[in-house]
Amino acid sequence: MSTAEHIVVGAGHEATRVAATLIAAGHSVSLIRVGGQLPPELACHGRASWRKMDGDQSLANNVLGPTRAQAKSTRGVLVSGSTHALPMSPLTFGRIVPNGHRRLAARSWLRARARNALAEVVGGGQEERTYRDWVVRRMGTPAYDILYADYAERRWGRSGEDIAASTARVAHSPALATQRVVPADIRDHSATRAEALVAADGGRIIDVDTVRFRVDRRTLSCVEADDEAHLVGERLVWAVASPADVAGWLGAACPPAAAHLASDLATVPSIRVRLSGASKSHPDEVHVLDAGPCWRLVRAPDDPDAWIVSSTGAFSASVVEDIRDFAVQNGLVSADCTVVAAGAVPGGMPVWGPVAHARLRTVLDTYAALGIRLSGSAGTLTALDPTSLVQHARLLLDAGSAELQEAWRVVAAPPTLVEDLGARITHFFADA
């Protein structure tokens, strides 16, 4: 096992987990964390659920702790001021569609299903590049306009035409429902465990506000963190940040073509808020289809009487207050609800555009040639759960250019083709 030292640069708990993964694999690490961290009341959301790791689970256990199968939870949607458990009955679906649109939506849905069934028999199909294409092919245009269009824009910060079809496959396809696990002890905070693992091994943790990458002779030579310079030498540098952020850290040293491509590979600002007084009459996870300041509420894994709310956009006190008022008005919390904690998610939220695959492949190779390996959700532009984060970092160790692409394809890349034409509008999500 190589003993080469690594420098991990990035935001939030994901950077800490990547550093802990390298240490658990026998390497020494310096960790440079950029920006603030989410408080534990919000960071616990990251341990609520993740996929079981393929193959050897021991490395993930060292970094994240032992896991157990996730207890079955309920999911639902908030439409017209009321929550409905998933899957919905056809009668319930008919009630949430506005008057005058029900027959049109039903006919369009049935035509879409008939067209897809015929395509499976005689062959052929239609191109799916965007989130809107994916929904319309399965549910029809009226269903997209009524249920999915506003939800997509509030969840991912873009219109359905600017989101890749693979995003819809990950979010909605029943073909992708897989086993989920949680920590064996729900009080265990895997980010805290990872930080303790870094500290116990003598790893250096440096919290900074600004980072600059210096390049000499087409190779990364120095990481400037605030006023301190860290010479790279033979060390490997891991960036747990979006391609756009890395381009900013490189500045004029970033190759022009990579800088242009990376500008379209930025993450979207994301907010997390913890509210007390969660009503027990609602499902454990509620996705908001009504117009509002948030797109999802999930019961906190350490307290069933608290919601952790997700929103997209810049963080501000007024947005947090709007989220609280929205939850009160829709009966999701009691009238005396309080905001326990709130903050911006470090690194933001990755969103796939229709041509992001090709752009990211080029950027990964360009940065690798400079001596930078992208990791984490922002670096791979995929919402990696903690176990997938560990698996991806392990595959990147001692990898050449071809292996970098393969690790991204196996662990991080959203699927480009899934046989999911049977997805049902009444289910809305994969494991409903």
What are the tens digits of pLDDT across the range 71-81?
Answer: 778 889 999 89
Based on the fold, state whether residues 19 and 53 are members of the same structural domain. yes
Based on the fold, state whether residues 200 and 339 are members of the same structural domain. no
Residue 148 resides in a domain: no
Residue 380 resides in a domain: yes
Last residue of a domain, one of 326, 344, 362: 344
Based on the fold, state whether residues 10 and 60 are members of the same structural domain. yes
The residue range of the domain holding 339 is 270-344
Last residue of a domain, one of 344, 365, 389: 344
What are the tens digits of pLDDT across the range 243-269?
Answer: 999 999 999 999 999 999 999 899 999
pTM for this predicted structure:
0.89
Residue 415 resides in a domain: no
Based on the fold, state whether residues 281 and 329 are members of the same structural domain. yes
d(CA 75, CA 428): 10
Based on the fold, state whether residues 323 and 280 are members of the same structural domain. yes
Based on the fold, state whether residues 245 and 277 are members of the same structural domain. no
Tally of domains within the chain: 2
Residue 431 resides in a domain: no
Based on the fold, state whether residues 338 and 203 are members of the same structural domain. no
Based on the fold, state whether residues 208 and 277 are members of the same structural domain. no
Q: What is the secondary structure of 78-122 as a DSSP string? A: EETTEEEESSPPHHHHHHHSPTTTHHHHHHHHHHHHHHHHHHHHH
Residue 159 resides in a domain: no
Say if residues 198 and 20 touch (Cβ distance below 8 Å): yes
Which residue in 385, 379, 347 sits closest to 364, CA to CA? 379
Based on the fold, state whether residues 276 and 340 are members of the same structural domain. yes
Q: For residue 242, what pLDDT is reported? A: 95
Q: For residue 23, what pLDDT is reported? A: 92
Which residue in 425, 354, 429 sits closest to 146, CA to CA? 425
Q: How confident is the model at residue 10 (pLDDT cuts 50, 70, 90)?
A: very high
What are the tens digits of pLDDT across the range 302-353?
Answer: 888 999 999 999 999 999 999 999 999 999 999 999 999 999 999 999 999 8
Residue 75 resides in a domain: no
Whether 50 shows a pLDDT value over 70: the answer reads: no
Based on the fold, state whether residues 248 and 361 are members of the same structural domain. yes
Based on the fold, state whether residues 340 and 281 are members of the same structural domain. yes
Q: What is the secondary structure of 154-211 as a DSSP string? A: HHHSS-GGGSBHHHHHHHH-GGG---EEEESSTT--HHHHHHHHHHHTT-EEEEES-E
d(CA 46, CA 48): 6
Least confident of 90-94, 175-179, 230-234, 270-274: 175-179
Residue 138 resides in a domain: no
Based on the fold, state whether residues 254 and 373 are members of the same structural domain. yes
Q: What is the CATH number of the domain that holds 394?
A: 3.50.50.60
Residue 23 resides in a domain: yes
